[in-house]
Structure 1
């Protein structure tokens, strides 16, 4: 594996459109949250970051259920930053419509659209759109196969078991230079091999434990690409984080949001209550949270990039109730201080 140098890494941001609290401690409206996300994308572009990703969810903690519309609004106000999802839940969507929406976004943004496809760690979209959770694996595998053919932008003849077949289906609009696509993987070997088989970039969602434990999946991805006769493709990392002037300030600002989100999801999934001790472990070398001063976060990102040979690192900068103003400062520091520090460290 080639050594990752300062010119080989892109830094980006991801958000799920977490609904936050205002200065008075009141819940911000969904509408204001969405408008804030567009402002966050604009700032990310201004500070020179490479990517801004918006997640798809269908529950009250998150305001964004239609990422492409939010991204189109961001495209109209940005110049250079690539815009995509984190992730698009392909299992409960239609591949044709997903392609059409992102090809449209690609036109609006003048070639800056990307799509990260995933099965989704939240399952609300399945009953909402009439899908059976027993088909969780089969839906994604079949729809990913169809989407792969649509990416060729040639007429598609295809047949599966989950939807009606297509015969010489010509889908529009066509893009000017193709559509960049990734598969988001949470850490199963089958998902890694699937991404390689269909020729997608690999986006590793590392939200717990040390990044080094994902190295076997990176090696598997490279071996799988070779076995399928494909050229090497990019590898990305998605992990939560927050940046402030000092480690202590970043920890103090971020903790309440992480506690709120972990306890909300934990009640549904049987997790123990979150604690400050757990948080301090997670922000340390063996944890998956990139929370601290610019120097601390830059060092941890550089270590992860070297360990995994990653070409992109996306920090999920919104978590729970963390306020808009603190997120904006985090974005500013990520672009103006963390980004050059990471490149210096990799140099």
Structure 2
């Protein structure tokens, strides 16, 4: 199982002082966090894509390129690229370039996105939400296979053999399909034989098992090798010295952001009791001591029938970088070895 971090480059007020750091300082801290993850042996670091005041990740490829120049072994991915709102040719070029800078460590997780700001920003019709994504995914996958694609669609000019450069170091740039809870998205990933990345930001892991089974069955019926049908999970997570310390560190930033988004979507204000339930044994938050988090990761792996990747969304902790880096260190040095040993006892 790959173990890593996903960040949305959140720029939130410090829960103790109310002070919001400068954007430049937060970006510097983020790159320090990626370096820390690389140093402690984590497998992957992802940068999301949002077009909102709370986040600095509107250009994830730029952040990942900066991280590529400062790291050695960690894989670098989007988390997710809002493919519906971008040009797949340009996206392929950007990530092929990151692959060159990193000497073969770039990946893409592509999805439709859970926020809608990108559509009006780039002049796109939200009524074509799924059609845009399906067409652009088709083109992106075609670009992996050939330098001179011949392709035609509804939403952008056709390609008639033009060269798309540069080409990546990796023979086929890895592309994962990022999904939420829509059955059609799980089935599409299986049909295409793409690895699946599930955003589980609440509830329980158990409720996703039927959707994972749907993905695997769709892939089997489409003739894909079961070994290629990888499943990953992106979950809220934070590792502290104790369960209480981890919860106290993570809750304020999570509550601030959840309340902000909730006001837009008509949610009830978040409570500490709600948070504690999701961080408890039955919930999907990977928040706690190294022992608690390792046990919960192994439980999720069993519940979902075997996972290839788990990534922690911990940037909503909204803490100073020293505390964030300590959490990353605990994940890499204390949690990951326990999980790897349990899943690969003979290695």
- Does the alignment reach a TM-score above 0.5? yes
Deviation per CA, 1:36-92, whole angstroms, max 9, x where unpaired? Answer: 111110000000000000001111100121111111111111100000111000000
Indicate yes or no: 2:223 matched with 1:226: no
Indicate yes or no: 2:48 matched with 1:55: yes
Q: Compare 320-329 and 150-159 and name the one that shifted more.
A: 320-329
Aligned to 1:15: 7
SS of 2:36 mapped into structure 1: helix
In structure 2, what is the Cα distance between the partners aligned to 1:41 and 1:193?
33
Aligned to 2:249: 253
Indicate yes or no: 2:194 matched with 1:209: no
Deviation per CA, 1:250-286, whole angstroms, max 9, x where unpaired? Answer: 1111110111011000000000000011011110122
Whether the aligned pair in 2 keeps the contact of 1:146 and 1:158 (CA below 8 Å) is yes
Whether the aligned pair in 2 keeps the contact of 1:61 and 1:320 (CA below 8 Å) is no
TM-score (norm 1): 0.95
Structure 2: runs of 5+ lacking an equivalent:
none
In structure 1, what is the Cα distance between the partners aligned to 2:163 and 2:224?
26
Q: Compare 316-325 and 213-222 and name the one that shifted more.
A: 316-325
The equivalences for 1:93-132 within 5 A come to 93-132=86-125
Aligned to 1:317: 314
In structure 2, what is the Cα distance between the partners aligned to 1:47 and 1:317?
16
Structure 1: runs of 5+ lacking an equivalent:
1-8
Aligned to 2:31: 38
Whether the aligned pair in 2 keeps the contact of 1:247 and 1:292 (CA below 8 Å) is yes
SS of 1:236 mapped into structure 2: strand
Deviating beyond 4 angstroms after TM superposition, the runs of 4 or more aligned structure 1 residues are: none
In structure 2, what is the Cα distance between the partners aligned to 1:203 and 1:131?
25
SS of 2:145 mapped into structure 1: coil
Aligned to 1:296: 292
- Give 1:153 shift: 2.8
Aligned to 2:331: 334
In structure 2, what is the Cα distance between the partners aligned to 1:261 and 1:77?
29
Quick one: structure 1 residues 320 and 242, their matched pair in 2 at CA, closer, same or farther if it must change by over 3 Å?
A: closer
SS of 1:151 mapped into structure 2: helix
